[in-house]
């Protein structure tokens, strides 16, 4: 059940409340994949509760020409990077998409170096991947993350978000084995309105949380 009007003190509180829900699922070999930057403090609390590994899943949106706010798809880290396109992308946009995909793949590599010291993403084969963000609006980037996680051979994919509009939530239901969401406000205006403190998470905070989470382990995988 979703609480339409739920407001969280900050991302850490949202993460603790999500963790309580995720713990009920009795997941095998979980790994938490948080979308940086704002998803990492949320994911950290879930990883701590599960004593599961935490990693940052790097995703970059591909915007439409002249209207970058409209997503045509996204690039998700992988070897090679995974390009996930919307089904309705016009063919005339494909050259633009290919150029932007190369540019965003380079940015993903830069961020992989800065956030993880160049370390590759945690291997997902045979594991339950819990994909986390601090909330979704249209959900385009989050949908790409879910699709890519399946392509990276996760045994099961769980979507965990504190807040999302109902229509965006419905759009991800077929992309995950289970969806955990705490609040579905109607009308929905912005993710940040559902937090008391929505201060932007810094790269330094992301690095510190990932470093602290290195002590979390849960199975033969770790």
Domain parsing of the chain, residue ranges: 11-58+122-214, 61-116
Average pLDDT, the chain: 92
Token digits of residue 98:
């290919």
The pLDDT of 179-195, averaged and rounded, is: 94
Architecture of the CATH domain 11-58+122-214: 3-Layer(aba) Sandwich (3.40)
Residue 221 pLDDT greater than 60, yes or no: no
Is there a contact between 203 and 115 (Cβ–Cβ < 8 Å)? yes
pLDDT of residue 219: 47
pLDDT of residue 215: 87
The pLDDT of 41-52, averaged and rounded, is: 97
The pLDDT of 183-197, averaged and rounded, is: 93
Instruction: Let me know if 214 is exposed, middle or buried by CB neighbors in 10 A (0-12, 13-18, 19+).
Output: exposed
Partners of 55 in the beta sheet?
A: 33
Residue 14 pLDDT greater than 60, yes or no: yes
pLDDT of residue 118: 92
Is there a contact between 193 and 29 (Cβ–Cβ < 8 Å)? no
- pLDDT tens digits, residue range 64-107? 888 888 889 999 999 899 999 988 888 899 999 999 999 999 99
pLDDT of residue 4: 64
Partners of 183 in the beta sheet?
A: 163
Placement of tokens 């409209």 in the chain: 70
d(CA 137, CA 185): 11
Token digits of residue 12:
């850490």
Is there a contact between 160 and 176 (Cβ–Cβ < 8 Å)? no
Token digits of residue 137:
């609006």
């Amino acid at each position: 059940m979703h609480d339409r009007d739920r407001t969280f003190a900050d991302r850490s509180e949202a993460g603790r409340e999500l963790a309580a829900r995720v713990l009920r699922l009795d997941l095998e070999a979980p790994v938490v994949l948080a979308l940086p930057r704002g998803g990492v403090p949320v994911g950290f609390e879930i990883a701590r509760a599960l004593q599961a590994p935490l990693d940052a899943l790097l995703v970059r949106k591909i915007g439409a020409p002249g209207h970058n706010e409209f997503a045509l798809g996204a690039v998700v880290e992988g070897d090679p990077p995974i390009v996930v396109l919307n089904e309705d992308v016009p063919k005339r946009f494909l050259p633009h998409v290919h150029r932007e995909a190369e540019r965003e793949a380079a940015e993903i590599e830069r961020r992989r170096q800065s956030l993880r010291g160049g370390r590759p993403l945690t291997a997902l084969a045979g594991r339950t991947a819990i994909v986390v963000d601090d909330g979704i609006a249209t959900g385009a980037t989050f949908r790409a993350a879910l699709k890519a996680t399946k392509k990276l051979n996760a045994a099961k994919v769980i979507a965990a978000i504190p807040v999302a509009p109902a229509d965006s939530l419905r759009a991800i239901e077929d992309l995950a084995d289970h969806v955990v969401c705490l609040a579905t406000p109607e009308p929905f205006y912005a993710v940040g309105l559902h937090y008391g403190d929505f201060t932007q998470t810094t790269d330094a905070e992301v690095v510190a949380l990932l470093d602290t989470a290195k002590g979390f382990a849960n199975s033969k995988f770790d």
